[in-house]
Amino acid sequence: MQRLSINQIINKIKAEETFHAVSDDYSFTLKIDSYVHYVCGAVHDGHQFRKELWDNCLHTEYERWYEEDPETKNMVASHPIVIAGLDSRFEYDLNRAPETAIYIDAWGKQLWKNPLPEAQKQKSLDKHANFYKVVKALIHTIETKFGVCVVYDMHSYNWKRWDREVPTWNLGTANVDNERFGLDIETWRQSLSELELPHGIQSTSKINDTFQGNGYFLKFITQNFKNTLVLATEIAKIYCDEYDYNMYPEVVAAVEEQLKTRLVTHANAFYKAHR
């Protein structure tokens, strides 16, 4: 893996070079093994939280981890193009617009002991802006090359906090063209429902049941690129104990192994239908 500046990353994308890179501020990674018609994203995978913020933060490391989406990058790690955040959403949230990307409070609890100095805010917002410069260059290159693109926007959610039965997988589609892409959405939902998971875990899947797909990553791409479908794909945290802070690597591995084929099959069908 190379450490590259934002301009170096963008220039490599424009030249259609393959590479594995971390941004020079260590805020995100991008792997391109080959240029294909689909992208995997994991914007909430990161857990880094820069040290100058520690003493001012009221949330514990566990409280931050609880609201992050650990292992979502690993679930799609085998695919040719993967972009993933390294920083915690508590530093700045890549799935929110810049004006709301820095939390004042989080899930009902004040985040900072004292308001953040402007310089610290700007450092976070610069990371946010750089990420989206790369996203824009990446999707532009793929859409130009193939005519269409499909983005698998991977997230997870805390299913135990719900007081009703919730699905293993939720697709949020409120901000995409359901008339044009409805069949693609349904076939992805159906494919996810067919995963075989360890310990008798049922792989149920629904559309707009727990979340509706209101994230900025989806909206940014959808608003800038008319031939790209972003599939906001949320897995319930059946791959860990969200209260005991334990990971279940065998569940992560099962998801990753089956998405190697299911995701590619879906992406290829999408390309065949819309190119």
Helix spans in the chain (H): 6-14, 61-67, 118-146, 178-193, 216-224, 249-274
pLDDT digits (tens, 9 = 90+) for 167-204: 999 999 999 999 999 999 999 999 999 999 999 999 99
pLDDT at 185: 98
pLDDT at 108: 87
Cα–Cα distance measured from residue 189 to residue 207, given in angstroms and rounded to the nearest whole number: 7
DSSP bridge partners of 20: 31
Cα–Cα distance measured from residue 158 to residue 253, given in angstroms and rounded to the nearest whole number: 19
Within 8 A by CB and 6+ apart from 169, the residues are: 189, 192, 193, 203, 204, 205, 206, 233, 234, 235, 236
pTM of the model as a whole: 0.97
Strands 205-207 and 109-110: unpaired
Locate 42 and state its tokens: 């994991």
Which segments in the chain show pLDDT lower than 70?
A: none
pLDDT at 107: 87
Q: By C-alpha distance, which of 103, 121, 126 is closest to 27? A: 126
CB atoms within 10 A of CB 59: 21
Q: Which CATH number fits domain 2-274: 3.30.420.10, 3.40.1360.10, 3.40.630.40, 3.40.50.300?
A: 3.40.630.40
pLDDT digits (tens, 9 = 90+) for 46-57: 999 999 999 999
Q: By C-alpha distance, which of 206, 170, 149, 176 is closest to 35? A: 149
